[in-house]
């Protein structure tokens, strides 16, 4: 069954090619197609295109389908084209002609658009909550290990003293900015395209503001042409926000791989969290972090993939857009899995003590030595030269670790500003309208 079918049958090869993986991707959208339809039929009844009795019957059957989806009992029949056709078929089998009325005043174009936006909005909420939990872990570890020093590097060369407090805390704060970009993507997604039909509106007396309220959207995509143009753009913006999170995780994973390396030896993990070698009995490989790094690097490529797939498209709908789902939809679960695995690893990390007592790290303290001379009144350039000559002449010796000066300015080793960073994250997370959106959706689904 195809909603667009007239009399001519499609060549089987054409149908197979054009459908591609879309049926598989449709299963991501099943619950959201029902939700969008519930709002649509309530609006249809309000403008006289359905009777109250027809609305009641449709609502009952749609809610039944929704709960089948949530229980994993919903199937897409082999001879049915897509999720929209399947749901309409089920309604028609149960209710006869009443089921056919559900498609009045909308196109598959705006139906898919609203499904995608509802799906992306839901996934962004889940991802934000996963990130927030990981952020809390990083902050906990930052405070726990704030007195454990480790080398800081620039150009992968020894630079200045750092600490595990700074290391964990840096990635926590990075997630704050990443979450800000998720909020930006959420704001773009949280606009209602329903009612734009095929991209040119409808001659029916529809009420687009009503469906906006019913679905918990912040506002409308007002211009019906732009509502369709927003497909592709919205996915790209979401993909960029995912890529920002992935970039943070990828960098953290690279650090972890280096720090576990025997030549660094800063951290270790329980044997059950690492893997071994088939021939080298001593190996403890950081496979989890290596796979996180690779998964996240692939997600970082997503915005460019979507950009290229939508390059040079004029306004209006084009089938090219169908393929975006295959790239974007699975990325959410992959990214959430990566965050959760990173959390498992870092909650069990073992930190080596007294790392900087090793002779090879003695030059980490040259800047502190220069600063001491400056505090005594010596101009910085002269102080730099004095210490540099000691290093070159082999007469430099670092201070005892117990006498190392720790900065007290905001964000330094001695003043991590953990609470301030926590407040930033809380401010971002509470700016999402999750409660209001979920209340609207729950109201639609009430029995």
CATH number for the domain spanning 19: value is 1.10.275.10
Both 347 and 269 in one domain: the answer is: yes
| Residue 1 CB neighbours (<10 A) | 13
Both 328 and 370 in one domain: the answer is: no
Structure tokens, 26 = 């449709």
User: Looking at 103, 119, 137, which one is the last position of a domain?
Assistant: 103
Both 186 and 141 in one domain: the answer is: yes
User: Looking at 86, 103, 120, which one is the last position of a domain?
Assistant: 103
Residue 154: which region, alpha, beta or left (left: phi > 0; alpha: psi -120 to 50)?
beta
Both 188 and 228 in one domain: the answer is: yes
User: Looking at 51, 74, 103, which one is the last position of a domain?
Assistant: 103
| Residue 414, in any domain of the structure | no
Both 95 and 188 in one domain: the answer is: no
Both 55 and 119 in one domain: the answer is: no
pLDDT tens by residue, the chain, 447 residues = 454 455 555 577 877 776 777 677 888 999 999 999 999 999 999 999 999 999 999 999 999 999 999 999 998 888 888 888 899 999 999 999 999 999 999 999 999 999 999 999 999 999 999 999 999 999 999 999 999 999 999 999 999 999 999 999 999 999 999 999 999 999 999 999 999 999 999 999 999 999 999 999 999 999 999 999 999 999 999 999 999 999 999 999 999 999 999 999 999 999 899 886 566 767 788 999 999 999 999 999 999 999 999 999 999 888 888 899 999 999 999 999 999 999 999 999 999 999 999 999 999 999 989 999 999 999 999 999 999 999 999 999 988 876 667 778 999 999 999 999 999 999 999 999 999 999 999 999 996
Residue ranges of alpha helices (H) inside 365-417 are: 366-375, 380-393
| Residue 179 CB neighbours (<10 A) | 26
| Residue 409, in any domain of the structure | no
Both 91 and 115 in one domain: the answer is: no
**The model's pTM:** 0.92
* Number of domains forming the structure of the chain: 3
| Residue 90, in any domain of the structure | yes
| Residue 208, in any domain of the structure | no
Both 131 and 63 in one domain: the answer is: no
Both 58 and 126 in one domain: the answer is: no
Question: ∠413-153-362 over CA atoms, to 5°?
Answer: 80
Both 254 and 368 in one domain: the answer is: no
| Residue 193, in any domain of the structure | yes
Both 271 and 249 in one domain: the answer is: yes
Both 301 and 226 in one domain: the answer is: yes
CATH number for the domain spanning 122: value is 1.20.200.10
Domain containing 374 equals 359-403
Strand ranges for 266-386 from DSSP E: 267-268, 350-351
| Residue 429, in any domain of the structure | yes
């Amino acid at each position: 069954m195809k909603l667009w079918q007239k009399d001519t049958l499609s060549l089987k090869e054409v149908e197979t090619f054009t459908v591609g993986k879309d049926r598989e991707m449709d299963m991501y959208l099943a619950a959201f197609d029902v939700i969008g339809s519930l709002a649509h039929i309530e609006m249809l009844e309000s403008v006289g295109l359905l009777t109250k009795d027809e609305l009641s019957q449709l609502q009952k059957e749609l809610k039944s389908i929704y709960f089948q989806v949530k229980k994993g009992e919903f199937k897409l029949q082999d001879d049915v084209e897509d999720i929209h056709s399947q749901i309409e078929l089920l309604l028609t089998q149960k209710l006869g002609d009443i089921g056919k009325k559900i498609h009045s005043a909308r196109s598959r174009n705006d139906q898919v658009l609203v499904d995608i936006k509802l799906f992306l909005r839901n996934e962004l909420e889940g991802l934000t909550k996963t990130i927030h939990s990981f952020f809390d872990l990083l902050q906990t570890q930052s405070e726990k290990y704030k007195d454990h020093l480790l080398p800081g590097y620039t150009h992968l060369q020894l630079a200045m003293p750092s600490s595990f407090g700074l290391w964990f805390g840096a990635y926590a704060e990075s997630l704050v900015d990443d979450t800000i970009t998720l909020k930006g993507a959420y704001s773009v997604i949280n606009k209602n395209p329903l009612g734009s039909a095929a991209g040119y509106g409808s001659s029916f007396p529809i009420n687009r503001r009503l469906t906006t309220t019913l679905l918990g959207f912040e506002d409308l995509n007002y211009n019906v042409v732009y509502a369709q143009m927003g497909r592709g753009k919205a996915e790209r913006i979401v993909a960029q926000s995912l890529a920002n999170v992935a970039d943070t995780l990828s960098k953290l994973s690279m650090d972890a791989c280096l720090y576990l390396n025997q030549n660094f030896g800063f951290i270790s993990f329980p044997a059950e969290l690492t893997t071994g070698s088939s021939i080298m009995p001593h190996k403890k490989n950081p496979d989890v972090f290596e796979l996180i790094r690779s998964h996240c690097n692939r997600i970082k490529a997503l915005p460019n993939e979507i950009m290229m797939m939508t390059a040079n498209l004029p306004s209006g709908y084009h089938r090219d857009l169908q393929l975006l789902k295959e790239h974007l939809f699975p990325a959410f679960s992959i990214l959430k899995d990566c965050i959760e695995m990173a959390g498992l690893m870092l909650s069990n990390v073992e930190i080596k003590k007294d790392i900087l007592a090793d002779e090879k790290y003695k030059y980490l303290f040259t800047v502190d030595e220069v600063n001491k001379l400056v505090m005594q009144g010596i101009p910085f350039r002269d102080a730099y030269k004095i210490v540099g000559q000691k290093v070159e002449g082999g007469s430099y010796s670092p201070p005892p670790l117990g006498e190392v000066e720790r900065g007290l300015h905001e964000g330094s080793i001695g003043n991590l500003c953990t609470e301030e960073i926590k407040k930033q994250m809380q401010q971002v997370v509470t700016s999402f309208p999750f409660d209001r959106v979920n209340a609207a959706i729950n109201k639609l689904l009430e029995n």
